[in-house]
């Protein structure tokens, strides 16, 4: 126990406490700003790997569908958090029919795996709930929180360390932490926050509120035959579907006509060169 105290004090001294959009205080040793900078490097490394494996989807139908849905959500995200207008909002659509996953790094750099759409047979409203949930993790600085956890629990990930990824790209310890963080589960509290902010974004963007409930029902059902990657990094808060159904009812009045938001020009990453 003795050794834990200085680490905590040090952590508080470096970055202090932040407050999430729902008012929760967050202890961070990686500041939200440096999470954005380091996530950019982690994203470039990830996309380069995907590109060399020919896993970036460029099919126009996929690109149009994902960019339209995500673009509407981003319009609403920027309205609520104007400072995110300077983020590099981008999505890599990953050709991987077996994987049920999606994520958003700090700074609005996202990915969605084809498997989550095809295996769960998602409609546009459900895709909006997934992407809205992921965007909310970034808006609430959950990446910085997970990166802090990655650094605290992995001695090798000091800021001074240098790693080389599979493509020979050099990554600092903090950039590596951004990659490692993608595989760490969010806390249930963070999940509840992302659910709450995500359903609001989707409703404001013009998508059906009840899709949040059907989405998670599909996800839990898919979980029956082994845990999809998504559920291992997004543990289910208690009564998730019930809570989302209630939130949806309450928030429907934000956009009762389901008027579709303007489509923000999100960058769909179709080659690693775009990021250089
Ligand atoms: Zn989540």
Residues contacting residue 255 through CB under 8 Å, at least 6 positions apart: 203, 204, 206
* Cα-to-centroid distance, 238 and ligand 1 (Å): 13
- pLDDT for res 7: 42
Domains held by the chain: number = 1
* Cα-to-centroid distance, 135 and ligand 1 (Å): 9
Q: How many CB atoms lie within 10 A of CB 3?
A: 6
Quick check: is 30 in a domain? Answer: no
Give me 219's structure tokens: 């996800």
Element (DSSP H or E) covering residue 257: none
pTM for the complete prediction? 0.88
- pLDDT for res 175: 83
- pLDDT for res 19: 75
Quick check: is 18 in a domain? Answer: no
DSSP one-letter string for 24-79: -EEE-SS-HHHHHHHHHHHHHHHHHHHHHTT-B---HHHHHHHHHHHHHHHHHHHH
* Cα-to-centroid distance, 2 and ligand 1 (Å): 33
Quick check: is 213 in a domain? Answer: yes
Do the Cβ atoms of 263 and 65 come closer than 8 Å?
A: no
Quick check: is 28 in a domain? Answer: no
* Cα-to-centroid distance, 231 and ligand 1 (Å): 8
Domain carrying residue 47: 35-275
* Cα-to-centroid distance, 168 and ligand 1 (Å): 31
* Cα-to-centroid distance, 131 and ligand 1 (Å): 10
Q: Report which DSSP code applies to 163.
A: E
- Rounded to 10 deg, the angle between the 142-153 and 124-139 helix axes is 60
Quick check: is 101 in a domain? Answer: yes
- pLDDT for res 77: 98
Element (DSSP H or E) covering residue 140: none
* Cα-to-centroid distance, 189 and ligand 1 (Å): 10
Quick check: is 50 in a domain? Answer: yes
- pLDDT for res 265: 98
* Cα-to-centroid distance, 249 and ligand 1 (Å): 21
Measured CA to CA in angstroms, residue 107 lies from 39, 131, 163, 248, 258 at distances of 7, 14, 22, 27, 27
Quick check: is 264 in a domain? Answer: yes
Quick check: is 29 in a domain? Answer: no
Instruction: Divide the 276 residues of the chain into consecutive groups of 10 and give the mean pLDDT of each group.
Output: 39 54 74 87 93 96 98 98 96 95 94 96 97 96 84 69 75 80 85 95 98 92 72 81 94 96 97 84
């Amino acid at each position: 126990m003795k050794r834990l105290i200085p680490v905590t004090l040090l952590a508080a001294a470096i970055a202090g406490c932040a407050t999430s959009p729902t008012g929760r205080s967050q202890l961070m040793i990686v500041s939200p700003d440096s999470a954005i900078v380091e996530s950019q490097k982690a994203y470039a490394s990830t996309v380069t790997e995907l590109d060399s494996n020919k896993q970036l989807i460029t099919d126009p139908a996929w690109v149009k569908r994902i960019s339209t849905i995500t673009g509407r959500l981003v319009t609403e995200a920027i309205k609520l958090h104007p400072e995110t207008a300077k983020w590099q909002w981008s999505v890599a659509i990953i050709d991987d029919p077996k994987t049920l996953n999606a994520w958003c790094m700090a700074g609005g750099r996202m990915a969605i795996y084809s498997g989550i759409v095809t295996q769960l047979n998602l409609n546009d409203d459900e895709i909006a709930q997934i992407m809205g949930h992921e965007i909310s993790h970034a808006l609430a600085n959950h990446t910085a929180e997970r990166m802090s956890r990655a650094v605290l629990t992995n001695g090798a990930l000091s800021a001074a360390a240098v790693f080389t990824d599979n493509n020979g790209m050099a990554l600092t310890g903090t950039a590596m932490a951004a990659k490692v963080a993608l595989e760490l589960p969010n806390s249930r509290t963070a999940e509840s926050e992302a659910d709450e902010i995500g359903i609001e974004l989707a409703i404001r963007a013009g998508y059906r509120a009840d899709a949040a409930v059907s989405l998670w029902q599909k996800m839990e059902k898919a979980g029956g035959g082994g845990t999809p990657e998504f559920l291992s990094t997004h543990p289910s808060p208690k009564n998730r579907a019930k809570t989302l159904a209630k939130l949806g009812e309450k928030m429907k009045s934000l956009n009762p006509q389901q008027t579709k938001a303007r489509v923000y020009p999100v960058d769909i990453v179709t080659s690693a060169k775009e990021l250089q």
